Chain A
Amino acid sequence: MKVCLKLSILGNICLGVLLSLAVSAAEPSSSVTLPKPPKAKQNFSDTQKCVAPIEDIRRNHGDYLKHHRNETMHKGIRTTQYSLVACINCHVTADSKGNYPNINEGSKHFCKSCHNYAAVSIDCFECHATKPETP
Chain B
Amino acid sequence: MEFWTAFYAISFYLAILIFIGGLAYKIYQYAKTPAPLVIPTMPAPRTSSGVVIRVLSEVILFRSLFRSNLWIWLFGIMFHVALLLVLLRHLRYFTEPVWGLIVLVQPFGKYGGLIMILALFGLLARRMFVERIRYISNPSDYLMLVLLLVIGISGASMTFVTHTDIVQLKAFMLSVIYFDFFNWQSIPSDKMLLVHLAAVILLMIIFPFSKLLHAPGVFFSPTRNQVDNSREKRHVAPWALELEKTGN
Show the binding face of A for B, using Cβ within 8 Å.
1, 3-4, 7-12, 14-15, 18-19, 21-22, 25-27, 29-35, 55, 58-60, 62-63, 114, 116-121
Assess whether A55 is in contact with B174, with CB atoms less than 8 Å apart: no
Inter-subunit contact B236/A1 (CB<8 Å): yes
Interface SS of chain A: helix, strand, loop or mixed? helix
Q: CB within 8 A of A33: which of B174, B190, B241? A: B174
The answer, yes or no, to whether B219 is at the interface (CB within 8 Å) is yes
Please, which residue of chain B has its CB at the minimum distance from the CB of A113? B167
Q: Name the interface size band of chain B.
A: 35 or more
Q: Mark the stretch among B57-65, B72-80, B176-184 that contacts chain A.
A: B176-184
User: Hey, which chain B residues are within 8 Å of A8, CB to CB?
Assistant: 31-32
CB contacts (< 8 Å) of A22 on chain B: these are 20
B5: interface (CB < 8 Å): no
Q: Is B225 an interface residue, CB under 8 A from the partner?
A: yes
Given contacts A32-B174, A33-B174, contact A118 B167 (CB under 8 A): yes
Q: How far is the CA of A25 from the CA of B31 in the complex (A)?
A: 26
Instruction: Give a binary string over B152-163; 1 marks a CB under 8 Å from any A CB, 0 the rest.
Output: 000000000011
Residues of B contacting A32 in the complex (Cβ-Cβ under 8 angstroms): 96, 171, 174-175, 178, 180, 185
Contacts of A1 in B (CB 8 A): 34, 235-238, 241
B24 touches A15 (CB 8 A): yes
Contact B96 A33 (CB under 8 A): yes
In the bound assembly, the distance between CA atoms of A3 and B219 in angstroms comes to 12
B34 contact from A4, A9, A62, A120, Cβ within 8 A: A4
Between B92, B96, B175, B185, the greatest number of chain A beta carbons within 10 A of the residue's beta carbon is seen for B96
Tell which of B98-106, B128-136, B141-149, B198-206 binds the partner: B98-106
Contact with A along B105-127 (1 / 0, CB 8 A): 01000000000000000000000
Question: In the assembled complex, which residues on chain B have CB atoms less than 8 Å from the CB atom of A55?
Answer: 165
Residue in chain B with minimal CB distance to A118:
B166
Decide: A120 and B170 in contact? CB cutoff 8 A.
Answer: no
